Amino acid sequence: MALIQYKDAELGQCGGREITTTSSTTANANSFFYAIQFITTAKVTAQTNYSSTINPNLPSFTSGFTAGTIVFGRYTAITLAEAGAAAIGYFAAE
């Protein structure tokens, strides 16, 4: 897969995935979530970091994230704490 520059990914050209369950939501093969946008107030219970990446530990934010917050990093999977919470994970390619 061709490398997509972040300036392209930031414009949503690599697509995204809704994160609306309390099960782990994973990025597409050969990609990762470079940004997580919280649509509702939500807590994260688990994250999987992209290989050799050190990201902020999202579950440590025990008060959660308010709607509209965007977190950047390289995540291959995210798990939300509550049913009814919603976020969008935006893709970037490896």
Specify if 83 maps to a domain.
Answer: yes
Stated pTM of the model: 0.85
Specify if 1 maps to a domain.
Answer: no
pLDDT of residue 17: 94
Look over the chain and give the mean of its residue pLDDT values, rounded to a whole number.
88
pLDDT of residue 1: 46
Total number of domains in the chain: 1
pLDDT over 80 (residue 5): no
Specify if 81 maps to a domain.
Answer: yes
What is the per-residue pLDDT across 73-89, written as a single tens digit (0 to 9) for each?
Answer: 999 999 999 999 999 99
- List, as one string, the DSSP characters of 11-42: TTTT-EEEE-SSS-EEPPTTEEEEEEEESS-B
What is the per-residue pLDDT across 12-41, written as a single tens digit (0 to 9) for each?
Answer: 667 899 999 999 999 998 889 999 999 999
pLDDT over 90 (residue 64): yes
- What residue numbers bound the domain in which 44 lies? 6-93
Specify if 25 maps to a domain.
Answer: yes
